[in-house]
Structure 1
Amino acid sequence: MAQEPLVHVEHVTKEYRLSQERTNARALIPGRRGEAAESTTFRALNDISFTMQPGDTLGLIGHNGAGKSTLLRVLAGIVEPSRGQAVVNGRFASLIELGIGFDQELTGHENVFFAGDIMGMSKSEIRGKYDEIVEFSGVSEFLDMPVKRYSTGMRARLGFAVATAIDCDLLLVDEVLSVGDFDFQRRSLERIREMNAAGAALVLVTHNLWAVNSMCDRVILLDHGRIVVDGTPAEAMKQYIGEEPATELDPEAGATFEDFRVPPEIAGKVKIDSIQAIPDVIRSGEAITIRATITVNEACEGVVVMSLFTSERAVFAERELGPSDFLASPGTYIIEAEVPSVPMAMGRFQFRIAVLPQDDRHLDQIFPAALAVASAEMKIDGEVLARPGLKLRTNWSVQPVSQQPQSGQ
């Protein structure tokens, strides 16, 4: 007997009526002068159908207004379809608007029970999860304070902790990964992965293509309410941005991974063992050094390239070509790229070093076909001194690992 789908979406269409109905005294006048203006219909979702099994991981991507959040709200039961049906055969946790169910006058402690009750958790279940919720949220010192005095980040952390404390079959996530600081985002990813590993299916809506690529086995690309692609991350993203994605760095998994499109004959020849930004916090205009340890297992022809990305993975600077001669000699090397001045705005950025095949550099593409890629996080405090597209002046050095880098680099 075939297993019943966890999620069954069948021919779902959602329409919104757009009109300007008169609400003043003129609406009482009979005839044309008193009639409501003609209404138009906006179709947010158009004949959407798909199923999910327990443990599936599905990403929803598309431009703003494509219907991603509307579809997630249909699954959560917040929005009712105009036509069709969406059935979830199990318990779900909704991470759509973190902290939206909090009572602003209640304390953090009281809101843990209030929000948990709204989500369908019993009092005993909440008490059993209470310490875990408080520890994950990081707001233990403020639990006796009314939530209205919490910062946006504090409300988001507490909301996420409550929402993910529930034992569920399906996790619905909408742009949660863009909330909070880097450490909170990292821990949120870990928690979502843990829930999925325990058997919960995942539906993730986000503009963060790294998160979709690293967490989802299947991706639906929506455009004007219709499904354009329902397939692998590579298939959906190739349609969406014109290129297949590279497997991004997991902050907790180390600094080495292989790109989607690495030809089998060159895979494994080069490994990036580590990468770091020195220092990892600077002021705009100050110097920074990116240090990577690279092991050449087998001589190859390639080139080292350094790229600079914003936290949203947008290319910020022109690519910098590094040294390549060392790739012809097996061994372990310390590669340093010193940037004397980083004239950028405040924010979080990411330097990425890749070793690319000599005959396939793809220097004009966002996702290079790489032998190995690794990334280092960097934070900048200061004024806006430059715009995207700047050219970094980089000083490169290479030394065998048996030799120590020169001081100050």
Structure 2
Amino acid sequence: MTKDIAISVENLSKSYFVGHNSAKSERYTALRDVVARNAINLARKTRDMFRGQAIVQGDEIEEFWALRDISFEIQQGDRVGIIGRNGAGKSTLLKVLSRITEPTKGRIKINGRVASLLEVGTGFHPELSGRENIYLNGAILGMSRTEIHKKFDEIVAFAEVEKFLDTPVKRYSSGMYVRLAFAVAAHLEPEILIVDEVLAVGDMQFQKKCLGKMEEVSHQGRTVLFVSHNMAMISNLCQKGIMLDAGQLEFQGQISEAILHYYQKQNEQSVRYSKLFESENAALVSGELIGLSDTSDISIHDELIIRMRYKIKKSINGKCVPNFHFSASSGTCVFVSNADGVTVKSPGEYIADCKIPSNLLNEGAYFVGLALTTYLDSGSFEVEFFDRNALTFNVIDPMDERSNRYGYAGIVPGVVRPKLIWNIHQDIK
């Protein structure tokens, strides 16, 4: 492995054995069956104990693969977001990389010292004070007492736990636990910092503080792996992304593309337009993007039509107004568009089309929320349904003469990128 590669994973797999009790589904069980089953279970548990394997409860044992044949490389200094649905294998991957659990198959090469923050309280001894746990964690990371002492004041100031420094951490709140644990992991100079969803325990101000610290760490040439379901946090921090699905590597690449792939996969796997997007008055039937390529891409120079089919179920004393909500991959709302000229509609099925003009949105991933709002004659309103991330698309820049780049190849800042009318003339005095 070359020096510029921080982590190399080859054909990594991890399996667990899960036990099921078949007896629960049986209404009547003879005594001899119970005795025979218990004898078999005892023999199996004894065998597993002598082999050093985990003892699994249950009559029937099933092998479950949390990770299967995963391969990737992470460069030094990369900020990598690991995303996927619950149960995709994200936490298992981090545990294997942190050497908390062993892989079943495959090989991992790590270049540098690893600090992990996976669960509240990981690496802390509950009976020891905050001060003692700082030194304990530093020792686990292989640092000398002198090295830890140099960083001690920075850690305490970042964690904001000065008043409770000599209190056993078992009396800490979950937020205090996370603040101190992150401060220790980030300040004791690991080459690789691994952080799981645990940051969600902290308040918003501390989360921003942590994101800033992780970005600072990566600028120092150290590597950050970050797992979160908060796509705004992932997008703001990370440059690259890894998406897992059902224990397999589904996508690896730029973070905007990984997030777009994640939402597209979510759309494929979820059952859309069920009772969740229906009210007594109206229901969402379908959503569609017209003008995309097969890869869900559209050029900044092309128009895009957002189409929503919806049903009005009964007569309403008000106007049912379709409205579309556009968000960037960071979670930032770009704009909301309401249909105009809406009149009172009789019951039936309708189609609402909204045209997005060319040269409006900058390159990147976008998500469209589909909604219907009823504005009543009384002056109040009711939201009939709102599917926040119903549709996804990706805007690309073909880098041609129409892009007005003049040779510039970097990312143009901003969410929107309208082609405005300019007039340049010489000022003759």
Q: TM-score, normalised by structure 1?
A: 0.59
Q: Measured at CA, do residues 359 and 5 of structure 1 come closer, stay the same or move farther in structure 2, by a change above 3 Å?
A: closer
Matched, 1:66 2:110: no
Indicate yes or no: 2:215 matched with 1:217. Answer: no
1:154 aligns to 2:176 (yes or no): yes
Q: Does 1:89 pair with 2:111?
A: yes
> 1:13 maps to which residue?
13
Q: Does 2:205 match 1:207?
A: no
CA shift, 1:264, in A, is 8.0
CA distance 1:116–1:83, change in 2 (3 Å): same
Partner of 1:240: 262
- Choose which of 105, 108, 112 in structure 1 pairs with 2:130: 108
The answer as to whether partners of 1:9 and 1:85 remain within 8 angstroms in 2 is yes
Q: Is the 8 A contact 2:326 2:368 kept in 1?
A: no
- Which segments of 5 or more consecutive residues in structure 2 lack a partner in the other structure? 24-33, 45-58, 266-296, 303-323, 341-353, 370-381, 387-429
Q: 1:67 to 1:178 in 2, by over 3 A?
A: same
Structure 1 residues 53-88: Cα deviation after superposition (integer angstroms, max 9, x where no partner) = 211222111100001111111111111100111121
Matched, 1:142 2:197: no
- Classify 1:262/1:357 alpha carbon distance in 2 versus 1 (closer, same or farther; 3 Å): farther
SS at match of 1:164: helix
Farther-moved stretch of structure 1 (128-137 vs 4-13): 4-13
Number of residue pairs the alignment of both structures matches: 282
Could you tell me how far apart the structure 2 residues matched to 1:89 and 1:183 are? 32
CA positional deviation for 1:208: 1.2
Cα offset, 1:389, TM superposition: 5.2
Name the CA distance, whole Å, in 2 between partners of 1:387 and 1:42.
Answer: 43
Mapped contact 2:90–2:244 kept (Cα < 8 A) = yes
**Normalised TM-score (structure 2):** 0.57
Q: What is aligned with 1:359?
A: 357
Cα 1:358–1:228 shift into 2, 3 Å: closer
- The letter for the 2-side match of 1:111 is N
Deviation, structure 1 residue 237: 2.0
Give the aligned CA root-mean-square deviation in angstroms. Answer: 4.2
Q: Deviations over 1:275-311 (max 9, x none)?
A: xxxxxxxxxxxxxxxxxxxxxxxxxxxxxx98899xx
The whole-number CA distance in structure 1 between the counterparts of 2:224 and 2:142 is 19
Q: Is the 8 A contact 1:7 1:86 kept in 2?
A: yes
Q: Deviations over 1:325-376 (max 9, x none)?
A: xxxxxxxxxxxxxxxxxxxxxxxxxxxxxxx9963689xx96369xxxxxxx
In structure 1, how many angstroms separate the alpha carbons of the residues matched to 2:384 and 2:204?
22
CA contact (8 A) 1:61 1:222 kept: yes
Structure 1 residue runs of 5 or longer lacking an equivalent are 244-259, 266-304, 324-355, 370-385, 391-409
The answer to whether the Cα contact below 8 Å between 2:3 and 2:111 also exists between their aligned partners in 1 is no
Deviation at 1:155, TM superposition (A): 1.1
What is the CA-CA distance between 1:143 and the residue it aligns to?
Answer: 1.1
The question of whether the paired residues in 2 share the 8 Å contact of 1:60 and 1:219 is answered with yes
Q: Distance in 2 between matches of 1:19 and 1:205?
A: 28
1:296 is aligned to none
1:81 partner letter: P
